[in-house]
Structure 1
Amino acid sequence: MEPDDLPLQLEWPAAGSRRLLSGFHDQLRAAILDGRLRPGLRMPSTRALAAQYGISRNTALAAYDMLLAEGYLLARPRGGTFVAATLPQPQVARARSVAPALNAWWSRPPLPTPHGQSAATLSCDFLLGSPATDELRWDIWQRLTTRAIRMLAKERAVYADPHGLPRLRAAIAGHVSFARAVGCDAEGIVVTSGTQQALDLLARILVTPGKTVVAVEDPGYVPARAAFGAAGARVVPVPVDGEGLIVERLPAHAKVVYVTPSHQFPTGVVMSMARRAALIAWAERHGAVILEDDYDGEFRFDARPLDALQTLDRGASVFYLGTFSKSLFPGLRLGFVAAPAWARAALVAAKQAADAHGPLIEQHALAAFIEEGHLARHVRRMRRVYGERRTALLGGLARHCGEWLDPVPNSAGLHLTAYARRGLKLQDLMGRAAAQGVGVYALAPYYAGRVSRDGLVFGYGTTTTDAIARGLRLLGKLPT
């Protein structure tokens, strides 16, 4: 007696397709694996199967033969064809033992991320690199974003200038001229998707793989080392001290120098005026360029800031990098480079090759946010908020941790570093602090080589003055 038709609704390729057999086979196998065709079920004859689905008997025979060979069906002499009682395990693709097509740089351990532990587990998190997003006027940002959407819908814009929206470039030029005395015009600004893309684009146009030497601060910003290293540069770490990068330790053959002079990352020191002048003179003598990353220099808590390297430069050797991730919010992936005239065309070409252009809605919204004065007002207000938090942090460190932590003098930014005195077991301390609900982070991961002096890095962008006081009281009780 023939079994009933199979209770399967199958999908067929277009007429004339060469995938009829493989599609038929794959769908029968899937039905067996997911239990729609149960173990021990007697299958229809190939003649009946062909009639049910309107295919040739040869196709039905071939599909059965493949399933029999794979162990999904069993044939009994003069008894028919059945779904196997014990099914073979689906083969799992094995990982390649080697990956010759990959850039070896990216097979290294992942970069440190700015993300701390879950907020639910920490009552005080000294998270590094994040601003106070709860202080932003989101109602204004929402209104400007909605306006940008309506404008783009009306214009039906498709692609934009990789250079960046002209109105945004003009707004940025005006902002950095007012806030940081950086002299540039809209033509000199190239809008990027944050500082990290700016570094990636600069590495593309400035690095000749295997030849170009890039000097970076040590300790320093690890993602910058990654951008240059992945581009094939020979990355040379140069130590910093209380005045910033030690210019005398720069390798004579370096052609690119990456620095954070306004608020050294991560120690927090400000590069002295003498060092700034020495670095610019060194670059002119050696035909090198300087990448000045001013990532959070807008937030200063003392006298007038020192002139930016770009302001002091007379030889068109400084690229000035800025970001709005620290002044506004990290999810706003917009930054910029104020580039010398000789490099702008190459930088724009690299931007176009990377992602064509930045997000249009955010560019329009940010331009309006700057033009209408909201950014300047936000920075002034946050300078006061962050100043209060910095004062609370310094006071708490002195009261509760003064015997084993030495804060590094600084006057800007959203974090400060405190060097640990010898003998303190930082990894153990951080683990016990986390168990008490306090997130603290070590300085050591930011070194490229030997850790000359370890310590803790305290971010105060995302925590309140009350939380800072509680966290430091708990932290002060932990060392033994």
Structure 2
Amino acid sequence: MELHIRLEGRKGLAAQLYAQLRAGIECGHLAAGSQLPPSRLLAEQLGVSRKTVADAYARLTQDNLLSAVVGRGTFINALAPKRSAPPSALTLAGDASLRRWQSRATVPGQRHALSGVRYDFIGGVASKALFPFDLWRSCLNYAVRRSQHHPQRHFPAQGLAELREVIAHHIAYARGVHCTADDILVCNGAQQALDLIARVLVEPGCKVAMEDPGYPPARQLFLALGAQLQGVPVDEEGLCVDQIAEGTRLIYVMPSHQFPLGMPMGETRRRALLARAAALGALIIEDDYDCEFRYLGPRADALQRLDTQGLVAYVGTFSKTLLPELRLGYAVLPEAVLKASCVTKQLSDWHSPTLLQWALARFVEQGHLNRHIRRCHEVYSARRDRMLQRLDDDLAPWLRAIPAEAGFHLSALAQTGFDVEHLVEQARKVDLGIYSLAPFFNETPVRPGLLMGFGAIEMLDIDPALDRLRDTLRRIS
């Protein structure tokens, strides 16, 4: 790599070279310990005599900025860099838009900043210990071999046909979704699916409705796009459909496992939601984020199965069932929304990573996904049962569980008037991660309580962790 030096004219070349090298060393652009080019090589690169370079090197050596090591070369000495003050930034014409996006902090981001405790009830995170890494590695190796011999350079924004095919079969079998591979758009996780759908439908000032409490990243996304957001209250049946405002263009809902409270939406309420959306001409985004894991009663079909008018965009993800790092999800979309979203996807990032798509298609096709879900279901069910037993026993004076029928988190409402935020703070002092429900509420009054995930905590850690929770509750009550 050539050293970036610019010499002007044919006079004072050694002084110019000395000044530029000294400035680079003092400001830290030329790092301590780095080797400078030999004088002969640098002279050839700059088109000057070797003596010019040697003179500049000699002056820098006298200033103790360089050291010459016999047989090795010339090196920059360690020196505390003189950092110049950054130039004052000009206020951009789009400053208001930048500030709007910068203000969209999300709860998952805040929770990530607080990670690192010994016992962590973080929600929405699957158990990495249960993931079949050896099987996944073999699928990745297959994808690499496939790529090596594949002549195609560009791939469809909609996603690889073979992955869309196995997704269609999987969600028809597991969730009762009516679709073909042609209806599916492969995305970088469910969050990108929400972004693509919102970008093609939401304009500044248009009305968007979502559950309150609800999923903060979706709320922040809609607000960042300029939506007029309505937080619709939930009851024991889920979203209160009759409170959706007139003029609503988009409705975001989690009917199978409300987040964060966990209750499912019954069929009567689901049909009422479809009827309300039809009357408004609104699209419903059905986020079915972790409903492969169901513990009570018959498996409820997706809301999309009841849709006969093209009103529902069904969104799913493999980040919950497999690995958060995978970042692959999908959306089953009505035709008009699908075409617009594919264009937006291509303009955004061309397509999701092809190697991961090939690997995931093989993973699902060979039956590894279903076997993994069955194994996780057994483990998560045992963890859930133990947490409910403790919440109904020695933790009952303080907390009342809302027994979620699906997923791998549950919510527990505060029974007494203790300060939940103070409890969360004190729990961290005993290496315990618990999370308040308050950040998930927006317009409706906060119901004090805790979000308690059981995907990432081991079975043997649940009792010691809940012992610490009980002792902390006793101490602050």
TM-score between both structures, scaled by the size of structure 2: 0.83
Q: Distance in 2 between matches of 1:321 and 1:450?
A: 25
Q: Determine if contact 2:388/2:403 at 8 Å carries over to the other structure.
A: no
Question: Given the alignment of the two structures, is residue 115 of structure 1 paired with residue 108 of structure 2, yes or no?
Answer: no
Is residue 2:268 matched to residue 1:256? no
- Summarize the alignment of residues 209-248 of structure 1 with structure 2, pairs less than 5 Å apart: 209-210=204-205, 212-248=206-242
Structure 1 residues 218-261: Cα deviation after superposition (integer angstroms, max 9, x where no partner): 11101101221222211111111111111111111111000011
Of residues 370, 373, 378 in structure 1, which corresponds to 2:367? 373
| Counterpart contact for 2:398–2:415, Cα < 8 Å | yes
Q: Does 1:91 align with 2:91?
A: no
Cα shift at 1:95: 5.8
How far residue 422 of structure 1 moved from its aligned partner, in angstroms, is 4.2
Find out whether 1:474 has 2:471 as its counterpart: no
Give how far 1:165 is off.
0.3
Which of 383, 387, 399 pairs up with 1:389? 383
CA distance in 2: counterparts of 1:429 and 1:257, whole angstroms: 34
AA in 2 matched with 1:185: T
1:115–1:127 CA contact under 8 A, matched in 2: no
Q: Which moved more, 1:327-336 or 1:147-156?
A: 147-156
Asked if the contact 2:104/2:220 (under 8 Å) is kept, the reply is no
Does the 8 A contact of 1:182 with 1:308 survive in 2?
Answer: yes
**CA distance 1:99–1:398, change in 2 (3 Å):** farther
Structure 1 unpaired stretches of 5+: 1-8, 37-49, 61-86
Q: Is the 8 A contact 1:254 1:288 kept in 2?
A: yes
Q: Which residue of 2 aligns with 1:198?
A: 193
Name the structure 1 match of 2:154: 159
Match of 1:272 in 2: 266
Candidates 338, 342, 345, aligned match of 1:351:
345
SS at match of 2:301: coil
Deviations 1:300-327 (A, max 9, x none): 0022222211000111000000000010
User: For the Cα contact (< 8 Å) 1:171–1:367, is it kept in 2?
Assistant: yes
Note if 1:361 corresponds to 2:355.
yes
- Structure 1 partner of 2:411: 417
CA RMSD in angstroms, aligned pairs only: 2.8
Code of the aligned partner of 1:392 = R
Q: Does 1:29 align with 2:26?
A: no
Q: Identify if the C-alpha distance between structure 1 residues 423 and 151 changes in structure 2 by more than 3 Å, giving closer, same or farther.
A: same
From the superposition, tell whether residues 416 and 25 of structure 1 become closer, same or farther in structure 2 (CA, over 3 Å).
same
> Offset at 1:24?
6.7
1:441-456 paired onto structure 2 within 5 Å? 441-456=435-450
Return closer, same or farther for 1:393/1:31 CA change in 2, 3 Å cut-off. closer
Pair 1:464-2:458 in alignment: yes
C-alpha displacement at 1:204, in angstroms? Answer: 1.0
Of 128, 134, 137, the match for 2:129: 134
Bigger CA radius of gyration:
1
| Residues 423-447 of structure 1, C-alpha deviations (whole Å, 9 max, x = no match) | 1111211122121222100000111
- Of the candidates 101, 108, 116, which is equivalent to residue 106 of structure 1? 101
1:125 has 2:120 as partner = yes
The answer on whether the counterparts of 1:132 and 1:462 sit within 8 Å (CA) in structure 2 is yes
What's 2:314 paired with?
A: 320
Counterpart for residue 331 of structure 1: 325
TM-score for both structures, normalised by structure 1: 0.82
Partner Cα separation in structure 2 for residue 88 and residue 118 of structure 1: 34
| Structure 2: distance between partners of 1:32 and 1:125 | 46
2:284 aligned counterpart, secondary structure: strand
TM-superposed CA distance for 1:27, in Å, is: 2.5
Tell me how far apart the structure 1 counterparts of residues 3 and 330 of structure 2 sit (CA, whole Å).
54
CA apart distance, 1:293: 0.2
Alignment size in residue pairs: 424
Identity of aligned residues (%): 38
Q: 2:386 aligns to what SS in structure 1?
A: helix
Helix, strand or coil at the partner of 1:202 = helix
**1:168-207 → structure 2 map (5 Å cutoff):** 168-207=163-202
Change (3 A) 1:419 1:94: farther
Preserved CA contact (<8 Å) 1:273 1:306: no
